[in-house]
Chains A and B, each alone.
Chain A
Amino acid sequence: MTSAAHAVLVVDDDPQLRRLLRTTLDAQGFRVIEAETARRGLIEAASHKPDLVILDLGLPDAEGHTVVRGIREWSSMPIVVLSARVDEQQKIAALDAGADDYVTKPFTVGELLARIRSALRRAVQPAEAGERLQFGEMQIDLAHRHARGLQGEIHFTPIEYRLLAALARHRGAVATQRQLLREVWGPDHVDQPHYLRVYMKQLRAKIEPDPAQPRYLLTEIGIGYRLLSDRDD
């Protein structure tokens, strides 16, 4: 994807990391705006209206999720958060607040670029309820609740369809457990992750050739799930 016009705001307090990101993103043709504090980041986001924000969760002046919430008050621009591996709770808080995806430090440049592109693509073509999913030979029509594989028609229960649709709305990105529980079971069930786990297991059994090595319904352990369909990437 050409991204000549895409502006990326990097909010990070570490000058070395900003330098790395600027060099890499410049080389990929992005226009890079830098901010080193959360406060500065919110100002830059409002004044430059970038196409995407890369937000480090370890900022000294504010919690990452408050920055996400600050941006979400007025914009749906894609936000990709950067965090250390052990900060699961921070990641979840940022994702629940509306961040689109996350990349764990240390990351490879390839990984980061893939996440950025995926997020930008979703911003251009938001997922719709009426779309189709393609998993190998299996095709699922979410609007008409109709699924077909090599062996003919496949049955999904209503909850399974709702779960697939919720995952599809976040396709390519991470959907947290809370988000999925709220979207499928309602706000009363956000503290019952086993509901979600049991249904994910059922979905995998129906969709994945090998549920223990999934290709489409990936687990982001401790965080949530990521749906990849064959139309992505």
Chain B
Amino acid sequence: MPDTVFESADEVELIDLPPEDLLQRLREGKVYVPERVRVAIDNFFRKGNLIALRELALRKTAERVDVAMDRYRATEGIGAPWAAGERVLIGIGPRSDGETLVRAGKRLAAALHAPWIVVYVETPDLIRLPEAERNRRIAWLRLAETLGAETVTLGGHSAAAELTSYAKTRNVTRLLLGEPSRAGVARWLRPSTVDQVLARLRGIDVTVVKTTEAMRIARSPLLARSAAFLAAPPSGKRRWPSYAWTTAAVALTSVLAWVTDPLINDTNTVMLFLVAIVLLAWRFGRGPAALASALSVLVYNFLFVEPRHSFEVADGQFLITFAVMLLVGMLIGQLMASVRLQARVAGHRERRTALLYAMTRELAAMRGASSMARAAVRHIGEVFEAQVVVLLPDEFGRLGYPRASDGAPEPASLRGADLSVAQWVQDHGQPAGLGTDTLPAAAARYLPLKASDAKLGQLGVLAVLPANPRRVLLPEAAHLLDTFAAQLALALERSSLAERAQSAAVAAESEAVRNSLLAAVSHDMRTPLAVIGGAASSLVEAGSQLDDDARRDLAQTIVEESAQMTQLVSNVLDMTRLESGLAAIRPEWVPLEEVVGSALRRLQRPLAQHRVSTHLDEAPALILGDPVLLEQLLFNLLENASKYTAAGSHISITARQGFDEVELLVADDGPGFAPDIEPDSLFGKFQRGRAEGAIGGVGLGLAICRAIARAHGGDIRAERRPAGGALFVTTLPQEAEAPAVPRETSVE
């Protein structure tokens, strides 16, 4: 059973009985199926195990009772009998048994009612550990987190130095460390972390936890360790050039030494080699430094030590020279490797911080959840070398993949996210997947994006599938990922709040619109209905008494009035559909002349008395737009022109090619807009250019035009023509390249 279950249990009841009694009950078949009892007693239910389990259960329960007592004290206002402000720090080193340490720390912290921190210092020693060992350290840190510890990863050359300085900054009162791994002379030669800490710290209790022999960590095999030592990369993957350079440099030094040999004495020749070794160690690190030392010793011995041109050594003094050369090379190489590693770790951190800052800054400048999600996918994907997707809920709280209409997916997009897991995360507000308590074996981690305002609920789920699980499992990385998620949630919350504010404004506006719609529709529908009803009833009731002309007049009235009403109803419907988003735009590549031709044909009759000219040559062969909606836009403009201009007026339709847009101009030479009217106001709903009466319509035509133009990402504006008349300019952005149509190879 995981410890967290125990931690979060409301009530724990202890059923205790001595191991002998339990074994007796087992034999009597009261606990297990009889045939399995024997196996069970032989394997797990041995007396020793049972005693250990009993001790564990009693201690756990005692701890809980202790906590209950403490709570009682707190609620009854009884002061604490101990000094407040205890803080426990547990250091996990390269060779400590983390699990024992963490559990010991937990017990100590619980006993002291103190917060506890588990620190992992990434020293060069640690980085050289095999992958599996490093993963175990991550597991310990996660265990500590689930037990309620704060975990911190520090980077530094010396674990002792980092631990002591961190302990001081956090006002730690107790430090818990594993027992030193070295003993005797080895311990005296290279003091362990415990010894170093004891030497540095004042005023902090240091507790050393004895690690059981069985739990001692397997050291990496000697061969692998020496390979790792030699292969420790200066940077990058290709290492042989540095060895080649090293060989070349030693050769050059040898030539130099050979040339200068007659001029300077042997001691200074050695210095020449030492300089070369130091420079090479500084430049290329450990491996090449070792090579340089060995080569130098050999060359120096061969060329300059009597007897020359042999590897024999006549004077024993030179053995000391060789030893110093080797030692200096190795030491400097080792130092350089550490410095480089620290620099790399620091650089890594700085890069991550910079990336977090970059994402935050980009999100701050953005509007709209889907574009924020895309930016987050790009940034998080880059930092964690992972495939990422942000799943946003629809209005019913169901998560879905980003829609294609939101634009092309980022290269780092994750397509294989498990939507059911994501939905669970969304519904419960808890992380799941890789390295969490729920489905820890999953390949991806799912993080809830929580709003700080509980009313907004869950804003979505961030799914991250790292190429290497360590990218997410390392506590430091996990914290960073949480920070990224928090930043994204913050941005999404802002966007959600902005949306709410806007929809509130829209709701208020649509309330007003609804009222004016009712007023307009009731006026504009009642009148034609009254006329139709009247004309039709007189045809029915008195048809036979009317002459042919009168009958035809009445019938004609019915036709015209019903056409009027049809127009009205379809305008209201169009507007409603456009506003409700029912009429989703379906952009296609279409020649402008098709749209114009179709609108003109629908208006053949009303435009029969007008002169219409078209100038579409400047438009691109195909434009991107919804043909049906664009035709509706043009139809409304042309119908207006036909209604508001006298017979014989001239209407022109012109296309103009802009930089990345197309402009469609509809102009007439009629009376134009009344002087007291601001042309742009005509695009509002229920706006009419003239007082109601002579010319029918609710004033929705131009509002529909604007809605259509804006649905295409463009707009429409009205202008007064200098020579009189009205001009409507529709702009349609055309950023995409028209698709190619294969040319025919043969022409008849």
Contact = CB atoms under 8 A, between A and B. Distances in A.
Interface size class of A (residues with CB under 8 A): 20 to 34
Contacts of B231: none
Interface string A80-123: 00000110100000000000000000101000000000000000
A135 to B, nearest CB: 15
B591 A201 contact: yes
B621 A198 contact: yes
Nearest to B624: A194
A159 B744 CA distance: 8
Interface stretch (B42-50, B148-156, B501-509, B597-605): B597-605
A229 to B, nearest CB: 17
B748 A221 contact: no
Nearest to B594: A219
Contact of B589 (A86, A197, A210): A197
B144 to A, nearest CB: 57
Nearest to B604: A213
Nearest to A177: B588
Given A158-B748, A195-B741, A197-B590, A212 B597 contact: yes
B588 A213 contact: no
B747 A157 contact: yes
Interface size class of B (residues with CB under 8 A): 35 or more
B588 A194 contact: yes
A204 interface: yes
A197 B593 CA distance: 10
B600 A212 contact: yes
A32 B715 CA distance: 50
Interface in B716-748: 738-739, 741, 744, 746-748
B747 A210 contact: no
A160 to B, nearest CB: 9
Contacts of B741: 194-195, 198-199
B738 A194 contact: yes
Contacts of A158: 744, 746, 748
Interface in B631-656: 631, 653
A200 interface: yes
B616 interface: yes
B566 interface: yes
Interface in A195-233: 195, 197-201, 204, 210-214, 218-222
Contacts of A29: none
Contacts of A106: 562, 566
A211 B589 contact: no
B614 interface: yes
Contacts of A211: 593, 597
Contact of A194 (B589, B598, B628, B748): B589
Nearest to B569: A106
Contacts of B601: 213-214, 218-219
A94 B748 CA distance: 36
B544 to A, nearest CB: 18
Nearest to A214: B597
B622 A221 contact: no
A107 B279 CA distance: 94
Contacts of B589: 193-194, 197
A155 interface: yes
Contacts of B621: 198, 201
Given A212-B600, A212-B616, A201 B593 contact: yes
Contacts of A86: 573, 577, 583
The residue in A86, A155, A193 that gathers the most chain B C-beta atoms within 10 A of its C-beta is: A86
A221 B744 contact: no
A194 to B, nearest CB: 4
Contact of B747 (A85, A155, A220): A155
A87 B505 CA distance: 32
Contacts of A195: 741
Contacts of B285: none
A219 B653 CA distance: 18
B595 to A, nearest CB: 7
Contacts of A145: 748
A106 B589 CA distance: 29
A12 B89 CA distance: 84
Contact of B595 (A200, A220, A221): A221
Given A86-B577, A194-B588, A194-B739, A213 B594 contact: no
Contacts of B590: 194, 197
A88 B590 CA distance: 17
The residue in B559, B570, B590, B597 that gathers the most chain A C-beta atoms within 10 A of its C-beta is: B597
Nearest to B632: A221
B570 A213 contact: no
Given A201-B621, A221-B594, A222-B627, A157 B744 contact: yes
Interface in B78-93: none
B628 A221 contact: yes
A220 B583 CA distance: 18
B294 interface: no
29 contacts: A106-B566, A155-B747, A156-B748, A157-B746, A157-B747, A157-B748, A159-B744, A161-B748, A194-B588, A194-B590, A194-B739, A194-B741, A197-B589, A198-B621, A198-B741, A201-B594, A212-B596, A212-B600, A212-B653, A213-B596, A214-B597, A218-B601, A219-B597, A219-B598, A219-B601, A220-B598, A221-B627, A221-B631, A222-B628
Interface of A: 85-86, 88, 106, 108, 145, 155-159, 161, 192-195, 197-201, 204, 210-214, 218-222
Given A198-B741, A210-B614, A214-B597, 17 more contacts: A86-B573, A192-B739, A193-B589, A194-B622, A194-B739, A197-B588, A197-B589, A197-B590, A197-B622, A198-B622, A199-B741, A201-B594, A213-B596, A213-B601, A213-B614, A220-B598, A221-B594
Closest 10 A-B residue pairs measured CB to CB?
Answer: A212-B614, A222-B628, A194-B589, A221-B598, A219-B594, A221-B631, A201-B591, A219-B598, A198-B741, A212-B593
